[in-house]
Amino acid sequence: MKVRIMIMLGLVPFLLTGCGSGDGNHSEMKAAIQTEAEDQGYSNIKWPFFEEDWHFEKKSDGNYTSHGTFKSDGKSHEFSAEVDPNSDMILDFYAD
């Protein structure tokens, strides 16, 4: 019984971090996009949960574009953004 609990506790950090990072893990860029949306006045935002809902795409210049939807105060909004992955700086952001 104690062994099972220890194993489960040992797996928790991997589950919380998404089993590692890499090109598929865009958490810093997601956070930058979320902050930009809040800075532009969107509030009570509900973002897509699943990685595939973010639609990140690497451009030839090394930056990433992202598009998708989020809900703000219960209303759906489409967004598009361009992010520099080295600094997580938002280069362009648009939401309707």
What's the average pLDDT block by block, 10 residues per block, for the chain (96 residues)?
A: 53 45 70 91 82 82 90 89 92 92
3-state secondary structure 49-87: CCHHHCCCEECCCCCEEEEEEEEECCEEEEEEEEEECCC
pLDDT at 91: 94
User: Who's near 55: CB < 8 A, 6+ residues apart?
Assistant: 66, 67, 68
pLDDT at 21: 38
- Indicate the pTM of the whole model: 0.67
pLDDT at 19: 42
